[in-house]
Amino acid sequence: TIEFTGALHATVVKQVRLKNPSSKTLRYNAILVGRDADDFSLPKGNTVTIAPKRQTSINVEFTSRFLHPAEAVLLLISKSVGGIDGATLTFSLKSEVKHIEPADILKCKSPCYEL
């Protein structure tokens, strides 16, 4: 589970590190699914390539629009490269709004009651 914690309307970025222990290149197609998948994004695109014996990180961004916790799933589905397939990877994405900062403060005067 990857947890995104921040203020309302703030953008939180988390990194997912992927390692390739094999001697062949691995390629994944990343998909965000679930109730609140639209609130999450992959700014560097949906394709991830990992060179042999290397590691890479993908960024997942979340921008909160509501106070309720958001949930989605990050699916990494292997694409065959030279007949080599990696395992399908899944990550649960959850958010929590910890505080609210006002966007603006307005002062106004008006009579509370007129007879």
Predicted local distance difference test score (pLDDT) of residue 79? 84
Per-domain residue ranges of the chain: 2-99
Specify the CATH number of the domain 2-99. Answer: 2.60.40.10
Question: Which pLDDT score, from 0 to 100, does residue 81 have?
Answer: 72
Range of weakest confidence among 24-33, 53-62, 103-112:
103-112
The DSSP bridge pattern shows strands 55-63 and 40-41 to be antiparallel
What is the dihedral angle through the alpha carbons of 42, 43, 49, 53, rounded to the nearest 10 degrees? Answer: -90
Q: What is the pLDDT of residue 83?
A: 67
What's this model's pTM, rounded to 2 decimal places? 0.81
Give pLDDT tens digits for 42-97. Answer: 999 999 999 989 999 999 999 999 999 999 999 999 887 766 678 899 999 999 99
